[in-house]
Amino acid sequence: MNHKDSYLSYRSEGRGGTIYLHSPETNFDMWYELAMPPAIIIMGVPEPKYWEARTGTPLARREEILQFVGEQVIKDRLSGNGYFLIDDHILSICPGRNPDGEGH
- Record the pTM: 0.91
pLDDT-based confidence at residue 1 (cuts at 50, 70, 90): low
In this predicted structure, what is the pLDDT of residue 103?
61
Per residue, what are the HEC states of the chain?
CCHHHCEEEEEEECCEEEEEEECCCCEEEEEEEECCCCCCEEEECCCHHHHHHHHCCCHHHHHHHHHHHHHHHHHHHHCCCEEEEECCCEEEEEECCCCCCCCC
Question: What one-letter code names the amino acid at 74?
Answer: I
pLDDT digits (tens, 9 = 90+) for 17-58: 999 999 999 999 999 999 998 899 999 999 999 999 999 999
